[in-house]
């Protein structure tokens, strides 16, 4: 049975060209980048080349890129680092109700440390209103954190407009761009952000490596202590092969992104059109247009999402009900609840995310298989019988 992977938002397959670029740094170029002799300096140059590639992709200066272990660390570094660095100025943080848990949990942690957090609601399309952000800002506000695109429903937020507000009010602005980097153009100056998080495994690079953009002059409390790496901002021996892979992955995205996005958008729009035609009582979650080119999220009434995923998996198709980080939770998605869905409907969600190797024939197969799965599950549902 041929397997079909449609969960690129959870993680992406490794691009062979990325592995090829990394391989020498496991073997003949294995030096510690902090060492002064040739082995170390060879590794150091590779790291700086990757730093420059990332900076060029997002319109930053290479000195503004800090390497991390991934999106979760980058978000924690941005939020906790800014909060503790600015706590004498104020103690108020603003974020949205649909952020990834890598943002929400640091905010909850900071609340226990005496910080105040305002969680801005979203509308039924999943959009944050800049007007609501503006109303929430007080003289004690020190940080706003709003994700560029939601990992579950793919909605693109008005980041540039929120960033302009933050700049006018003198408040730091962080965005979680883990879902957007490598998939759509991102420029830190156009977005008016001070801090931006990214993760390599979301754009065909290695797991366990990412970066945080830190605009010059932005104050952050050091996150890891123990060495002077990253200009003292993040101590730890450089993971040279992974950093090289991150740089190579982003270079490939720069070459391929425009063409890939157009192809994926056509498949996405086909799914948005045809799934409701083939399956009754289906709800599209998130804004129909203002969303990532590769993301579709539906709620299918009268069935349970986990059962649907397991049956699709038995037929060789891998999709998701939402964030991979919470896939073992029995609670419905906080994102779907925030856009106004009931617990019952939220439990029947299906996230389909496309990527570099998605084929038209695979979408054909999904469109044939999914209605059969839904029909069988609804035949066993007492809720569907009573409707």
pLDDT of residue 208: 97
Determine the length of the chain: 387
Residue 326 pLDDT more than 60?
Answer: no
Strands 349-353, 295-300: pairing kind: antiparallel
Encoded tokens for 223: 């996150």
Residue 21 pLDDT more than 80?
Answer: yes
pLDDT band at 317 (very low <50, low <70, confident <90, very high): very high
Strands 92-96, 116-120: pairing kind: parallel
Residue 133 pLDDT more than 60?
Answer: yes
Nearest to 350 by CA among 381, 317, 376: 317
Better-predicted residue by pLDDT, 304 or 18: 18
Encoded tokens for 20: 């090829």
Question: What are the angstrom distances between the C-alpha of 308 and each of 282, 314, 352?
Answer: 14, 10, 13
pLDDT of residue 36: 85
Q: What does the buried/exposed string (b/e) look like for 278-298 if buried means 16 or more CB atoms within 10 Å of the residue's CB?
A: ebebbbbbbbeeebbbbbbbb
pLDDT of residue 328: 54
Please compute the mean of the pLDDT values over residues 66-88 and round it to a whole number: 97
DSSP annotation string for 200-263: GGGTTS-TT-EEEEE-TT-----SB-SS-GGGGTB-S---HHHHHHHHHHHHHHHHHHHHHHHH
Please compute the mean of the pLDDT values over residues 360-382 and round it to a whole number: 93
- Give 22-44 pLDDT, tens digit per residue: 999 999 999 988 888 888 899 99
Residue 324 pLDDT more than 50?
Answer: no
Residue 196, H or E segment: strand 195-199
pLDDT band at 323 (very low <50, low <70, confident <90, very high): very low
Neighbour order of strands in the sheet with 295-300: 282-284, 295-300, 349-353
Please compute the mean of the pLDDT values over residues 45-67 and round it to a whole number: 98
Rounded to a whole number of angstroms, the CA Rg of the chain reads: 21
Residue 337 pLDDT more than 60?
Answer: yes
pTM for the predicted model, two decimal places: 0.95
| Residue 325: active-site member | yes
pLDDT of residue 70: 97
Residue 327 pLDDT more than 80?
Answer: no
Average pLDDT score over the chain: 94
Please compute the mean of the pLDDT values over residues 349-374 and round it to a whole number: 97
Yes or no: say if 202 and 177 are a contact pair by the CB < 8 Å rule.
Answer: no
Residue 321 pLDDT more than 50?
Answer: yes
Half-sphere exposure of 181 (CA within 13 A, CB side): 34
């Amino acid at each position: 049975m041929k397997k079909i992977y449609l969960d690129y938002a959870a993680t992406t397959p490794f691009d062979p060209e990325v592995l090829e670029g990394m391989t020498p740094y496991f073997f003949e170029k294995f030096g510690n980048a902090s060492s002064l002799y040739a082995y170390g300096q060879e590794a150091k140059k590779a790291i700086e080349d990757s730093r420059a590639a990332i900076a060029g992709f997002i319109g930053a200066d290479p000195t503004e890129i800090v390497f991390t272990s991934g999106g979760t660390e980058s978000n924690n570094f941005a939020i906790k680092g800014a909060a503790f660095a600015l706590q004498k100025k104020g103690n108020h943080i603003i974020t949205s109700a649909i952020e990834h848990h890598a943002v929400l949990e640091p905010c909850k942690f900071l609340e226990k440390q005496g910080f105040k957090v305002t969680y801005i609601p979203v509308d039924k399309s999943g959009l944050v209103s800049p007007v609501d952000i503006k109303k929430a800002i007080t003289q004690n506000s020190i940080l706003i954190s709003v994700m560029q695109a939601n990992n579950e429903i793919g909605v693109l937020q008005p980041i540039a407009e929120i960033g302009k507000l933050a700049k006018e009010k003198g408040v730091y602005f962080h965005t979680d761009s883990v879902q957007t980097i490598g998939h759509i153009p991102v420029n830190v100056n156009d977005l008016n952000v001070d801090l931006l998080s990214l993760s390599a495994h979301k754009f065909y690079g290695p797991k366990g490596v990412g970066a945080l953009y830190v605009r010059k002059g932005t104050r952050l409390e050091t996150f890891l202590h123990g060495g002077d790496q990253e200009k003292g901002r993040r101590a730890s021996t450089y993971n040279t092969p992974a950093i090289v892979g991150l740089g190579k992955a982003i270079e490939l995205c720069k070459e391929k992104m425009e063409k890939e996005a157009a192809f994926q958008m056509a498949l996405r729009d086909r799914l948005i059109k045809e799934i409701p035609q083939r399956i009754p009582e289906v709800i599209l979650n998130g804004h129909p247009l203002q969303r990532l080119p590769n993301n579709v999220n539906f709620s299918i009434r009268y069935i349970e999402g986990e059962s649907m995923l397991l049956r699709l998996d038995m037929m060789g198709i891998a999709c998701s009900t939402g964030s991979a980080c919470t896939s073992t939770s029995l609670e419905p998605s906080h994102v779907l609840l925030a856009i106004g869905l009931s617990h019952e409907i939220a439990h029947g969600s299906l996230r389909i995310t496309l990527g570099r190797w998605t084929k038209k024939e695979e979408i054909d197969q999904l469109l044939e298989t999914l209605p059969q799965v839904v029909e069988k599950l609804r035949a066993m549902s007492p809720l569907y019988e009573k409707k």
